[in-house]
Amino acid sequence: MLSKNAIKEFQNLYRKEFGIKLSEKEATKRASRLLGLYKAVYSDPSFDKTKKRKARYDTNTMSQSENDDN
């Protein structure tokens, strides 16, 4: 969940960049989508969040290695 200040800042930046004033609801939706995209692109795909450790992945297929004993 984004803070009200973050939403306001996003609205201001969006208005300055594109000349369009967004409602709070629309700004929340767009900012959340942008944040989700950022996390998907820049997160570490080899980190297994459920086990709090680095997972071993085959970098060619991005699937877990068959030699993973855990």
Rounded to whole angstroms, how far apart are CA atoms 36 and 12? 20
Residue range 40-55: mean pLDDT, rounded: 67
Q: For the chain, what percent of residues have pLDDT higher than 70? A: 63
Q: How many domains does the chain contain in total? A: 1
Overall pTM > 0.75: no
Q: Is the pLDDT of residue 17 over 70?
A: yes
Domain ranges, residue 32: 4-64
Is residue 69 in a domain? Answer: no
Which tokens belong to 18?
């594109």
Residue range 41-67: mean pLDDT, rounded: 61
Is residue 28 in a domain? Answer: yes
Task: Calculate the CA dihedral of residues 37, 43, 49, 54 and round it to 10 degrees.
Answer: 160
